[in-house]
Chains A and B, each alone.
Chain A
Amino acid sequence: MKFSEQTEAKLERLLAGFPPDRKRAALVPMLLFIQDEVGAVTPEVVEEVCRRLQIAPLEVEEVLSYYSMLRRRPAGRYHLQICTNISCMLVGGAELFRHACRKLGIGNHEVSEDGLFSLEEVECIGACCWGPAMQVNYEFRHRMTPEEFDRLVEQLRRNASSQAPE
C-alpha cells in the first residue's frame, strides 16, 4: 500500500524521530495520519502498518480499540464533533447536539445517507472558554448556536457540490 506524497512525508518524519530499534513508537500517530487519507483503518491499513513497523496485527488491534479517534469504518466527508462536556454543557452544548441530530436526521456515530456528514458527541476538545464548541474534521468552530450550525451545514453542502468529485 502506497500513500500520497504528503502522507508518506509525514510518516517518514515521524519515524525519523525515533531510534531505529524503536519504530513501534510511531504507531498511534501513524494510524491517525493514514486514516486522514484513507478514511478509516481498514484491514489493508493494518497489514501495511504491521509490515512497516514489523509488529503483529494484534498489537495494532490493541491500539485501534483503545483510541476514540481511530475508526474501522469511514466517517462522513465532514465529521461534525460536538462537545457536550461540562463547560460546553453550561452554555448549551447538549442542546446544540440535539439540534444537530434533528437537522441532519442522524444520531451519534451515524453517517448521513449521502455520506456528506457524520455526527459525534465528543468529550472536552479544549475549547471550554469559547463554547459551545465543535470541530469539523480538525477545524474548530467556537460559540456555536443552532442558527450558526444550520448556516455551517448549508455552507458545507455548497462546498461539496461546487467541488468536483474525485
Chain B
Amino acid sequence: MLHPEPHPLEVTVLTRRFRLPNSASIEVYLATRGYEAFRKALALTPEQIIEEVKKSNLRGRGGAGFPTGLKWSFVPRGTARPKYVVANADEGEPGTCKDRLLMQYDPHALIEGMLIAGRAVEASAGYIYVRGEYRYLIEILDRAIEEARGRGFLGRNILGSGWDFDLHTHSGAGSYECGEESALLESLEGKRGVPRIRPPFPATAGLFGCPTVLNNVETFCAVPPILLEGGAAFAALGTPRNGGTRLFAISGHVRRPGVYELPMGFNLLRMIEEVAGGVREGRKLKAVIPGGSSCPVLRAEECDLAMDFDSVARAGSMLGSGGVIVMDETTCMVKAAARILRFYAHESCGFCTPCREGTAWLAKVLARLHEGGGRAEDIATVRETARNMLGRTFCPLGDAAAMPALSFVEKFREEFEAHLEGRPCPFEEVAAHA
C-alpha cells in the first residue's frame, strides 16, 4: 500500500477515497458522491462553471501555479473548430509521485474533472497523456473509462444532455520534456517532444492547432470537490489566492516519507517534523528543495515557511509540483547539485542552444567539482552559465536547470570550495560510516 493511514494533520479532499477497498471502481466512486459534481455542472452554463472554479482559487498543480479558472476562460467560445481537454499525467519532475496515486486509487475523479472541464469549454474529446513508465495506470484508467462509458458518462448524448464527449488514454515513451505543455502536445501528435513557441497558447492553438485545455492530473481531480462544495469552500481551505489542499510528496531523509494532503500554506518545518516524522536518525536538517528538483534549494534556516505559491516565491524558491526533497547534514550539496544537473543535461531536448549547451556544461563542471578535479574558476563558471541561461531558453527546462545550479552554488559556496584543488569529497567518509 503506497498510501498508509492518513496523518491526523492531513485534510483529505482529493485523497478521501484512497483507503476504501476497490477505490478505483465506479461502484465505490458513485457510492461516495461520484459524478454528482458533473450532474451539477450539466445544469450550469459554461460561464457559471468557470466562475465557480475561479472562486476556488485553484492554481495549476503541475508546477506553474497558473489560476485554473482563468486558463479555461481563455478558450474561445462559439468556434466551429473542435476543442480538446488534455490531462498532463507525464509526472516526471524528480521528487514528485502524487499523480500516480490519484490515478491508481481514484481514476474516476480525474475523468469527472476532465468531463467538467470539457463541459466548461464545450470540448468534444479528451486525452490523458500518461508517462510510458506508468503502464499499470493506463490499464486502470482504460478500465475506468470503459466503466464511465457503460454508465453513460462518456460517449454520445451524455446523460441525455445532447453533448458528446469521449476520453482516451495515451502513452509517452520516456521523456521529461514531454511534461512541458507544448512539448506534450507535439508528442500527442506523434512527434518528438520539442516545445512550441508561445503565444499562441494551447487555449487558442493546442492539440492539432485547436483550442485545448491542458491541466495537471491533480488540478483536474480538484474540480469535482469544487463543484460539489462550492468554490468558496475550497478557497477557504488554503490561503489568500492559493485555494484548497495540495498533495505534497515528501522524500529524502525523513522518517516517514510519503504523499500527504495538506492545506495550502501549511508550514514547511511542521510538514517535515510532524507529518513526515522528522529528519531520520535524529540528524540535523541541512536543506530542502520545496517543489521538485527544478526549484531553488532552501537552507534549513529558510524553511520556517508557509507552503503556498506566493510565500515560497517570496522566499526565493517555488512551490512547483509539491515534491519536497529533504536533505540532512550528511548530504554533500555538490553531489546533489551534480546529480540534478546530470538529469537536466540528459533531458534537454537539444532544440535551443542555451539549454543544450548550458545543461551539458553545468553537468560537466559540477561532476568535476564533486570528483575532485575542480578548479577555482569552476564555481564562477557555474554561476555565469546558469545566469546566462535564465530566461533565455525556448521553454522552461533551461530555467529548471539553471535555478537549482545557481541556488546550490550561492547558498552552499563553502562546500564547493571545500572540494577544490583535488581534495576528496568531505562527505564521502561520513556516508561510508553511516
* Interface window among B185-193, B233-241, B358-366, B409-417: B185-193
Q: How far is the CA of A34 from the CA of B134 in the complex (A)?
A: 17
* Interface window among A97-105, A122-130, A144-152, A156-164: A122-130
Inter-chain contact B2/A130, CB cutoff 8 Å: yes
Q: How far is the CA of A128 from the CA of B293 in the complex (A)?
A: 11
Tell whether B174 is near chain A: CB-to-CB under 8 Å: yes
Tell whether B100 is near chain A: CB-to-CB under 8 Å: yes
Q: Number of residues in A with C-beta < 8 Å to the partner?
A: 46
Tell whether A82 is near chain B: CB-to-CB under 8 Å: no
Inter-chain contact B251/A128, CB cutoff 8 Å: yes
Query: How far does the Cβ of B193 sit from chain A's closest Cβ, in whole Å?
Result: 7
Chain B at the A interface: mostly helix, strand, loop or mixed? mixed
Mark out the residues of chain A between 87 and 127 whose CB falls within 8 Å of any chain B CB in the assembled complex: 87, 89-91, 123-127
Query: How many A-B Cβ pairs are below 8 Å?
Result: 151
- Contact A32 B249, CB 8 Å, known A69-B133, A126-B131, A128-B95: no
Inter-chain contact A129/B259, CB cutoff 8 Å: yes
Mark out the residues of chain B between 357 and 394 whose CB falls within 8 Å of any chain A CB in the assembled complex: none
Tell whether B325 is near chain A: CB-to-CB under 8 Å: yes
Inter-chain contact B97/A128, CB cutoff 8 Å: yes
- Contact A129 B171, CB 8 Å, known A24-B190, A69-B133, A86-B336: no
Tell whether B401 is near chain A: CB-to-CB under 8 Å: no
* Interface window among B50-58, B69-77, B340-348: B340-348
- Contact A90 B175, CB 8 Å, known A123-B347, A129-B251, A130-B2: no
Query: How far does the Cβ of A149 sit from chain B's closest Cβ, in whole Å?
Result: 19
Query: How far does the Cβ of B376 sit from chain A's closest Cβ, in whole Å?
Result: 27
Inter-chain contact A22/B208, CB cutoff 8 Å: yes
| Chain B residues in the interface with A (C-beta under 8 A) | 2, 91-97, 99-100, 125, 127, 131-136, 142, 166, 168, 170-176, 187-193, 208, 249-253, 257-259, 289, 293, 323, 325, 327, 331, 335-336, 339-340, 343, 346-347, 349
